[in-house]
Amino acid sequence: MFKLLRYSLATFCFAASVGCLAIWWRSMTYHEKVYGPLPDLTHRVVLNAHHGYGKLHVTRLPPGSIPWTSWSVKYLPHQPDLFGVRKRGSDRIGQFKNNIYFPLWYPALIFALAGVAAVRLGRQFTIRSAIIATTIVAGLLGMAVIL
């Protein structure tokens, strides 16, 4: 039973990693926005993907406004340096005005390493585990260097 749970978690992590890489690749040609409410319905979260970066922004809805109850997605044409982060370097995490930005390949790396850890959970860490993790990291970093 534990083995099935471990492999399910690893599969989810690897799928999330591939999804993050797909969003990263697509963000080079499209600007995507996802809007949605937070559970308290007085705040909304906006997630952006543009130029290989993700941006997270949480805003408070004005008093008396109609609360958001559903999520929406928008696809916009490519815009030059929308976040102003390309001038600061391509591998940085930080804050710009009232936003948090990060390269989209960072979550892909984290999910990939979590997937390797889930597969190896409960077992002794071996050289094989290190080689698998190094291969995944090298592949992701190689993609970052190419772009």
| Burial class of residue 21, CB neighbours in 10 A (0-12, 13-18, 19+) | buried
> Which two tokens mark 42?
């007085």
- At 71 the pLDDT is 80
H/E segment holding residue 99:
strand 99-103
pLDDT over threshold 50, residue 32: yes
Mean pLDDT of the region 122-132: 71
Residue 122 has pLDDT above 60, yes or no: yes
Burial of 20 (0-12, 13-18, 19+ CB in 10 A): buried
| Position 36 pLDDT exceeds 70 | yes
What 8-state DSSP symbol labels residue 66?
A: P
pLDDT in tens, 70-93: 788 887 776 665 555 455 545 567
Position 59 confidence tier, pLDDT thresholds 50, 70, 90: confident
